[in-house]
Amino acid sequence: MTVQYEGPRTKAVEQPDAADHQSGRTEPDRLEEKRVWQEVKEKRRIRTEAARLRRRRRMLAAVAGGAAVALAVGFFFGLRALWYAAPDPLGGPDISQIRCPDWIEQDFITNPTARTGAPLAEVKDLAIHYVGNPGSSAKGNRNYFNTEGVDVCSHFVVGLEGEIIQCLPLDEQSVATNQRNKDTISIEVCHPDETGRFSDVTYRSLIRLISWLCRQFDLTQENLIRHYDVSGKLCPLYYVQHEDAWQKLKEDAGKALEAEE
């Protein structure tokens, strides 16, 4: 952009006679004035050119930066896609292909501290938990997992009405069962009171879920574990304190599995 200089010098150069009459300037004066004006114009041209080059360099740097970021992001997602597409080295079921039945409500959480996105490549056992908050609902517990800063989450919550909510995709690790997060599906179960005993409707729903999961992952009732069996935590409380009730739960799961085969 060039700004036209309209000051007195230009006027003087363009109207030499009028200027001469007023100032009485001589020919050498006019030449000197013209030279100075040429110099000013040249300096301005150089400045403008330098500014244009600087803008161009900034633009190129921005484009290069954007391209680098796009490349890095593309590379990351490419690797991630490859990781998930890789066949299971143990030859087990492809977890990402399992479709949940309509009696399970999928309501995945998005809270990044609880849903880490770590892939679950194989499922060796199903881990049973109790929520430890008497009277709380499946939805309430799911929403708790989705609360900012909370860093626990199970795959499923079985509610007081027998409803089942899935909080995580099956091919992602939960944060519920300590060192066994890496190879278990976790199920939290709601309970009406402090004893931690599951109500009949909740129990039936839990057995149905366990049976369905066993079929998906080629497991049996022997692959049912309690949180207690992993870390010693009193969870699920009632079924730690009543070993017979735990054995009965495993038996009932085995019967349901047989009945459906």
Residues forming contacts to Zn ion in the complex (CB under 5 A) are: 129, 227, 235
In whole angstroms, the minimum distance from the beta carbon of 131 to Zn ion comes to 9
The residue among 197 and 227 lying less far from Zn ion, judged by its C-beta, is 227
* Cα–Cα distance list, 156 to 73, 120, 219 (Å): 32, 15, 17
d(CA 195, CA 190): 11
The residue among 213 and 235 lying less far from Zn ion, judged by its C-beta, is 235
Single-letter amino acid, residue 210: I
The residue among 33 and 226 lying less far from Zn ion, judged by its C-beta, is 226
The residue whose two tokens read 């040249």 is 42
Contact indicator for 246, 238 with CB cutoff of 8 Å: no
d(CA 103, CA 191): 20
In whole angstroms, the minimum distance from the beta carbon of 91 to Zn ion comes to 30
The residue among 19 and 158 lying less far from Zn ion, judged by its C-beta, is 158
The residue among 126 and 235 lying less far from Zn ion, judged by its C-beta, is 235
Contact indicator for 138, 163 with CB cutoff of 8 Å: yes
SS (H, E, C) 161-221: CCCEEECCCCCECCECCHHHHHHEEEEEECCCCCCCCCCHHHHHHHHHHHHHHHHHHCCCH
In whole angstroms, the minimum distance from the beta carbon of 154 to Zn ion comes to 8
In whole angstroms, the minimum distance from the beta carbon of 81 to Zn ion comes to 33
d(CA 133, CA 124): 28
The residue among 184 and 205 lying less far from Zn ion, judged by its C-beta, is 184
The residue among 227 and 250 lying less far from Zn ion, judged by its C-beta, is 227
In whole angstroms, the minimum distance from the beta carbon of 233 to Zn ion comes to 6
d(CA 120, CA 221): 21
Phi and psi at residue 226, to the nearest 5° = -100, 155
In whole angstroms, the minimum distance from the beta carbon of 207 to Zn ion comes to 19
Single-letter amino acid, residue 176: A
Rg of the chain (C-alpha set): 38
In whole angstroms, the minimum distance from the beta carbon of 128 to Zn ion comes to 8
